[in-house]
Amino acid sequence: MPRTCPACGGAHIRQLGVGTQRVVEEVMTLLPDATVDRLDADATRSGHDTENTMDRLTSGDTQVLVGTQMVAKGLDIPNVTLVGVVLADIGLYMPDFRAGERVFGLLCQVAGRAGRGEDIGRVVIQTYNPEHYAVQAAAAQDYSALYEYEIDARRETASPPFNEMVHVVFQDRNDDQALRLATETGWILTQRAEAQGLTDIEVIGPAPGMPSRIRGRYRWHLSLRGPRLLAFIEGMEFPGACTIDVDPVHVV
């Protein structure tokens, strides 16, 4: 992580993240008379019943519900008139060509939770980059603007739909071993493309997965970008400790 900002030279750079429990605490401080509930993976694992949580919100016993993306999906409660998104920037800068599209979709989805009854709904998006095209398009519910920006950017970077993509993930309990397998496979793929004169095939990576470790296994990944990739990798033997995803939804 850089120590200074390349644009202004400022040194006030820090890692930032806000969990749902912290948001609950802030809301309870700001609204001491409101009943605040929480819905996320940690809450459900600790025994909170999702159906009961939604019943309390529907009846009005709960005035504020704080949660992760799971709150945005399929929530149809007429008395919800205000939705807030905290730190909408989190997904914008993932190393994934679909990051902007994904954030746009989530913001539009969560915005649709407010105002489903007779009362008008309102949505507040907190972001450190309000000028970002995905945030602007989501705030305006402008699908065409999002499409125009995305299709131009993908044409410029030769990303899908202008090329095919294959995502290869290597996993091992030893971080160095996972990296070694990814590096060796990347070198083999590069040599294979050069031997066939395929200058339009890119081997991107290796790079650490995000998150870099899941269930005790470290993750490193490679991406292939170019035309006719299935024909290119046909017959190649990949290490057993990897998974191959053709036309991936995520590349992190």
CATH assignment at residue 108: 3.40.50.300
What is the number of structural domains in the chain?
Answer: 2
CATH number, position 211 = 3.30.70.600
Q: Which domain holds residue 235?
A: 164-246
Residue 17 is predicted with a pLDDT of 61
Whether residue 233 is found in the same domain as residue 110 = no
pLDDT-based confidence at residue 43 (cuts at 50, 70, 90): low
The 10s digit of each residue's pLDDT in 133-163 is 999 999 998 999 999 999 999 999 999 999 9
- Residue 13 in any domain: the answer is no
Nearest to 158, CA basis, from 225, 245, 252, 101: 225
What burial letters (b/e) apply to 173-185, b meaning 16+ CB within 10 Å? eeeeebbbbbeeb
Whether residue 140 is found in the same domain as residue 189 = no
Span 69-79, mean pLDDT?
Answer: 72
Residue 168 is predicted with a pLDDT of 95
Span 165-191, mean pLDDT?
Answer: 95
pLDDT-based confidence at residue 114 (cuts at 50, 70, 90): confident
Whether residue 152 is found in the same domain as residue 168 = no
Whether residue 177 is found in the same domain as residue 152 = no
Q: Which of 100, 135, 156 is the last residue of a domain?
A: 156
Nearest to 101, CA basis, from 147, 165, 156, 162: 147
- Residue 132 in any domain: the answer is yes
- Residue 1 in any domain: the answer is no
